[in-house]
């Protein structure tokens, strides 16, 4: 494991909430932080706060073209990536209310932003992660998990914001376990976590935990030497536990991988 002050981490959704607090924490440990956001002014404010080693990358994760463009920009700027934290996401009814919505690519919006964008970004950045020799991928998921309907991931039938959010978060975990198996022996680990319950972020109306709890749990997966080589796991805060049983179904994971590859082209 390379010293932290020699490591570079990309955090998606780093302009507010958990992402911004995590960026502040990891920059304080000496890491170079690549800040992702949608809004230039808000993103620049984070970069200015973190200091000269931070860099800003803009993309709306509801657009696969913008995800690809951001990945290309990062590949042009750095020769390796030590950590990727896929944190960006949208909640059950935020933004846009409870009605079903679609991304720029015609994908159900929560599935697109919470899962598919991260899937594509990870695939695009794998060469940089491999170049690091030892790298970590951390997927910020949720304890809110609901059986993924692989025949209707767009939820054209029986839509609800809760169902859309919960299946997108389970999809993250299926992909985590799947990618961990694929990358076994490469030095790249892949883990997912539920950082804390109802943190005070823009998608939570009534917080019951603190941002600090979420930062502690997420930063641990990024920096803890004791987790070197630990991969394909799901954590609830600081505790390793089991996710929804579908995450451990090889057929479901393979089906999701095929579908994801089709959707991202």
Would you state the pLDDT for residue 201?
61
Pseudo-torsion of CA 146, 255, 196, 4, nearest 10°? 180
Nearest to 264 by CA among 155, 103, 37: 103
The residues, any chain, with a CB within 8 Å of residue 245's CB and separated by 6 or more, are none
- Does the CA dihedral 198-193-90-107 come out positive or negative? negative
Can you give the length of the chain in residues?
265
Distances (CA, A) of 195 to 17, 94, 144, 223: 12, 19, 12, 15
Would you state the pLDDT for residue 196?
79
**Residue 83 per-residue DSSP state:** E
- Asked whether the predicted pLDDT for residue 247 surpasses 60, the reply is yes
pLDDT band at residue 1 using 50, 70 and 90 as cut-offs:
confident
pTM, entire model: 0.94
Beta bridge partners of 236: 194, 239
User: How would you class 186 by CB atoms within 10 Å of its CB: exposed for 0-12, middle for 13-18, buried for 19 or more?
Assistant: middle
Task: Give pLDDT tens digits for 125-181.
Answer: 999 999 999 999 999 999 999 999 999 999 999 999 999 999 999 999 999 999 999
Would you state the pLDDT for residue 94?
77
Would you state the pLDDT for residue 232?
98
- Does the CA dihedral 34-116-242-16 come out positive or negative? positive
Query: In whole angstroms, what is the distance from residue 58 CA to residue 94 CA?
Result: 20
Query: In whole angstroms, what is the distance from residue 40 CA to residue 94 CA?
Result: 21
What mean pLDDT comes out for the span 1-9? 95
Nearest to 33 by CA among 42, 1, 48: 48
Choose the weakest-confidence range: 49-53, 109-113, 199-203, 251-255.
199-203
By the 8 A CB rule, do 80 and 128 touch? yes
- Asked whether the predicted pLDDT for residue 183 surpasses 80, the reply is yes
**Peptide bond between residue 121 and the one before it cis (omega within 30 degrees of 0):** no
The residues, any chain, with a CB within 8 Å of residue 208's CB and separated by 6 or more, are 197, 198
Percent of the chain with pLDDT over 90: 91
Task: Give pLDDT tens digits for 80-128.
Answer: 999 999 999 999 987 778 899 999 999 999 999 999 999 999 999 999 9
**Residue 10 per-residue DSSP state:** E
Would you state the pLDDT for residue 95?
76
pLDDT band at residue 213 using 50, 70 and 90 as cut-offs:
very high
Token couple for 146: 């609901």
Q: Which domains are delineated in the chain?
A: 4-264 (3.40.50.720)
Beta bridge partners of 239: 236
Task: Give pLDDT tens digits for 197-212.
Answer: 855 665 555 555 689 9
Query: In whole angstroms, what is the distance from residue 115 CA to residue 187 CA?
Result: 23
Long-range pairs, 143-147, Cβ under 8 A, ≥24: 143/194, 143/197, 143/236, 144/169, 145/169, 145/170, 145/173, 145/243, 145/244, 146/170, 146/244, 147/244, 147/246
- Catalytic residues, by residue number, are 165
């Amino acid at each position: 494991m390379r010293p932290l002050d020699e490591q570079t981490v990309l955090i998606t959704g780093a302009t507010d909430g958990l992402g911004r607090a995590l960026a502040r924490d990891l920059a304080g440990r000496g890491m170079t932080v690549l800040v992702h956001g949608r809004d230039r002014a808000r993103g620049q404010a984070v970069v200015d706060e973190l200091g000269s080693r931070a860099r800003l990358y803009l993309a709306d994760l509801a657009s696969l073209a913008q995800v690809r463009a951001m990945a290309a920009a990062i590949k042009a700027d750095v020769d390796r990536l030590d950590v990727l934290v896929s944190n960006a996401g949208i909640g059950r009814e935020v933004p846009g209310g409870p009605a079903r919505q679609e991304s720029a690519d015609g994908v159900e919006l929560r599935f697109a932003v919470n899962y598919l964008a991260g899937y594509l970004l990870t695939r695009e950045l794998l060469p940089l992660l491999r170049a690091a020799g030892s790298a970590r991928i951390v997927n910020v998921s949720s304890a809110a998990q609901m059986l993924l309907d692989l025949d209707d991931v767009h939820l054209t039938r029986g839509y609800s914001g809760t169902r859309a959010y919960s299946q997108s978060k389970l999809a993250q975990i299926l992909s985590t376990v799947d990618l961990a198996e694929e990358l076994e022996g490469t030095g790249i680990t892949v883990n997912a976590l539920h950082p804390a319950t109802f943190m005070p972020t823009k998608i939570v109306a009534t917080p019951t935990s603190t941002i600090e709890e979420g930062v502690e749990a997420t930063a641990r997966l990024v920096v803890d030497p004791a987790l070197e080589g630990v991969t394909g796991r799901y954590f609830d805060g600081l505790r390793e536990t089991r996710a929804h049983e579908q995450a451990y179904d090889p057929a479901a994971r393979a089906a999701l991988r095929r579908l994801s590859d089709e959707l991202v082209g």
